[in-house]
Structure formats: structure tokens, C-alpha cells
Structure 1
Amino acid sequence: MDRNVKYLIIGAGISGLTFANYADGDYLIIEKEKGVGGYCRTIKKKDYVWDYAGHFFHFSTDEFKKKFLDSVNPEDIKYKDKNTKIIYKGELVDYPFQTNIHQLEKEEFIDCLYDLFHKEEKEDYDSFLDMLYGKFGKSIVEKFLKPYNEKLYAVDLKTLDKDAMGRFFPYADIPAIIDNMKANKDSTSYNNSFLYPRNGAGSFIQILYDALDSSKILMEHEVVKIDNEHKVAQLDDGSKINYEYLINTSPLNHFLGYFEGEKFSALKNRLSYNKVLVFNLGFNKKSKFTEEHWMYIPDKAVNFYRIGFYDNILDADKLSM
């Protein structure tokens, strides 16, 4: 059946659901999965709570934060000061690496400190990698920043913009690095403290979903074609949606495939992207890591780049990772 809507929203993940919460009610969400949440869905199995990946919410406004917290039992929220490590040559180094080089072996520490003081900063950088060398010097970059981010992005860092990570990158100047040698406090990361729902990230998704009209969310439906000129989207069941505004939250390479025309296919072919495979594992006892929340692994001989411990965040008595 054909429909007319003001806002056609592709995807019922956290972005799509949030937009619908603040729309004027004239919306329709198209979601190809059986449930909402996208990559913020939560899986519960026996004593274990897992997300599709580790997600932590850092609210941009107090108003938005209050919207969530007022809808949750205070006892169901865990508040934590971040405890994160880097597995470097078999030892644990506090994150971020660049402010904890004093924890390295003496010779490596001297290399990092020497290169840090002799780095060549510039007004303009050509790429993300160029920026790293300019800000932190050769040793810090090649021991951690370069190998870790190459694993994370699965791309040559020269192809990334200098601001590719935005606020998520922990910048630090020389005074901050020197001060941290004694204070040993991470003041550069955006998520030094965080909150986490006892029942997983899906708890927040449920709050967004419950505030909406479920009849305006089409589950197990997918957009297959979009006529951008006439503002019509065709679904996999043959029905058509006439829209005034199109809100996309699906991956851009999928989204561009909905349009016909050379300019869309050319743009799609210009995009690069990678995929992340997440394993959620549970064990009936704790590991030797009882305080760490997550760890970073720059070593390219190891084919994963991060490991997280839900049990240490939730104060559980069984290893959930």
C-alpha cells in the first residue's frame, strides 16, 4: 500500500529512533531487521548481557541525558571512571599511550621523549598520519598510534583527513605528557568517566522506541529504490512511499545503491569502508583482569584490536567479554 509521509527514515537504530522522537509525528521508519536498535542492540543469555559491540553514551546536553535517566531505575545504571590499558609487548600500559610513555622500558621511554621534543609541527598537515608525526614524533607514532589505527581503520593512514577522529582522538601536548608522569591521570580522553545500563545499551534504545507509535515503524522491510527527483521510495514488497524529507541512517554505501544514475554510482565507488566482526564470549568464572574495562592491542600479529570486559563494568562475578 502506498503512503505519504513528511519524514521517511531509513533505519531504526539509535539515530533513526532519536530523530523520530523529535519529529512532529508525521514519520515512517523502515527497518530491515526484526527488531530496533541497529548496532546498539543488546543480547541477553542466562547471566550474560552483550551488545552488538561496546557502546557508551556521552550525552551532548543535560536535557537529553535527563530524558534517559528519568526513564531508568537509578539502580540499573552503573557509573564508572574509565580503566583502560594497552597490551604492549606483553605488558600493560595505561591508555592513552602518548601520556604514559614513562611506563615503558627505559630505552623506549627515552626514544619517545627524545622524538617528542624534536617533533616537527606544522600549520597544515597533509593527512592523519602526517598530523600524528607532527604532534607526537616518530617513536610514539610507530610504537602505538600508527599500528593501532591501521588495524582500527584497515586503511593507509595517509588517506585519512587530519581530523578523521575528531573529538575521539586524545590529543596531548608536552606539558600534559610530563605532568602525567607524576599525576598519572588521563585528562585528554573524551570518555574519562561513563555510565552504562545494567541491562545493556539496548535499555536506552527501548526508551526511544517506547516513546514512538509502533505502527509507524515497518520492521522486516527494506528500501530497494529511491526516485530522488520525485521523492518516492520503493520497498521490497513493491509498495511506494512518497516523502517530503528523507532521513538516512543506513551505511552510505548501501544508501547510494538505492539511487539510479551515474553520479550516485560514481560517488559510491569513491567510498572506502571497513567491517568489524564482534565476538561476545561468556565464561563461568572471572579472568585475571578484574578491574580493566577494555584494552587496546596494536600488535599486528594479533588479528583483533580491542577487547572489553562487561563483567568489570557491571560488577558481575562471571567473565563476559
Structure 2
Amino acid sequence: MPSPIFVAGHRGMVGAAVCRRLSLEPGVQVLTRPRSELDLCDEGAVARFFEQEKPATVIFASAKVGGIHANKTFPVEFLTDNLRQELATIHASYRNGVKRFLFLGSTCIYPRLAKQPIREDELLSSALEPTNEAYALAKIAGLKLCQYFRQQYGVLYHSAMPTNLYGPGDNYHPDHSHVLPGLIRRFHEAKLAGSPSVTIWGTGRPLREFLHVDDLADAIIHLCKLENPPDWVNVGTSVDVSILQLAKQVAEAVGYQGEIHTDPSKPDGTPRKLTDTSLIRSTGWAPKISLHEGLQRTYQDFLAESQAGTMRSI
């Protein structure tokens, strides 16, 4: 894993976790830039940064992300912002001799009705989930561009597709967050307000898989050390839970004791999205943090971030 390593998106949940994990690697120099100094959508600025800094490795953890509501409301931004970032960074990397580029995507790249558990070869086998199609298309483009650069030019550009993530530094916006941080915030506020019940979106029946972001960071460093990694690989736990079951576990972690209701008039999204992680497990990696332990830790992180005024809510 040659140094210096540029971590794009170091202030996001994934990027911050990668930087924490890299701090444990002896002799590694980490390059970071806040958006105020380097806008990855600005192709010229990205080109100048790479020409000056010459990173040897790039871990691309930058993205415009959000939950169902945000994806449905702002599809143009989710497609164009993500495309511009990845195109500028991948091209600048190649032009400046970056030999190792790890692109972070999402398992939302897979079809809505993909065979379960989802293998990597399910990509492009059928239609995407409409509620996050724009984001998925951008991530598929980045994954494929890395594959094509590797195929055509022999550079080690590859991708990791994590399942639903949670952990320190997550986004707790009441409308634009993903399901797990959104539930943490809602149950916390309901507990403080003494609300007798909390209503969750949809039927509660869809099944989802969750990975603690520190496990993902460990997987990323593992992949960066492989001499011949897969072009893209799922990163997850291969264990899923219904949204209603998740809500009950979050309520328990938060200490909320009221009733939980569902609202079937709201969209459910993909019925099930469970990853087959046999490929990455065959390389010697496996997750370590259970959902129960991860929720306990994440709620404590939520409280600490709230008290310190550092909680993301954008």
C-alpha cells in the first residue's frame, strides 16, 4: 500500500473511519483536503492537486449520499455531483501515475430484484430500484471506469461495494439521513419528549443488512494490501434484519419504551438487499462488530457528537 495515500472525502463517515484505520499503519502518510480547499467537482482544481501532491494511492470515499427521501427529491444532484467527482479524480489519478485506486460504491448498484444473497455478478442483470436510481447509476459508472482503466492500462484500480453503513460521523438529518441514523434520532427525541409512540416509514417488512463503518475501514485497508484484488467486491455481514426489527433494536439501544407503528402509505424501497460476501471472505477478511454491539456504540457516539456540537445534520 504505497504512500502518500489521498483519502477523498475524509470528513465523511467512511473517510474519517479510513483515516482512523490508516493511523494504525506504520509509516503511512495520509493526504486530505477539505472541500473548502479542494472541490472534487472542479476538474481543474483536482488536476492541480494531483500534479502538486503526487499521491501514490487513492481511496475514494467522497460522495453525495442520502436516504430515500433525498434521493427521490434531488436525482439530478445525486447523479451529476457524483459523476463529476469520480470522473475528475480517476482521470487525474491516471495522468499523475497513481497505481492503486480504490473506489467506494454501494450495494444499491445492484438490481431491485437481484437474486438473494446478492453476488457481484448480479450487476446490470435487471432494473435498478427507482428510488435511488440516480445515485446507483453514478456509482456503476465509477466502478466500470475503474475496471476499464485496469483492463486497458494495467493500473490497479478496483472497487468495494459496502452494504448499509452506520457508526460515528453519520448524518442525522431528520429528512435526508439513511434509515438507521434516522431511527436513532427519532427514538432519542421521542424518549426526551416522552412520546407514547413512534411511526416508521413503510410496512417495516423490507430486509436490510448493516455494517459498522469501522469494519468497512478495516476491509478497505485489507483490500489495498492485496496484490490482485477483485475488480469489485461486496463488503458486508451477510446477515439481515427487517426494518421493524431494526426499529425495535434501535429503541432498545436508545432506551425508548413507547410503541412502534408502521406507515404503509410511505415507500418501502427494495424488498431485500442482502450481500453475498463469500468473495471478500475468501481473501481473508470478515466483519467483527455485531449489530447489537454496533448500535450500542453508535448511540453513545450520537450522544457525544450531539453534546460536542459536531453532529452531522445536513
More helix by share: 2
| Range class of TM-score, shorter chain | under 0.3
Higher relative contact order (CA 8 A, sep 6+): 1
TM-score by length of 2: 0.28
Normalization by structure 1: what TM-score? 0.27
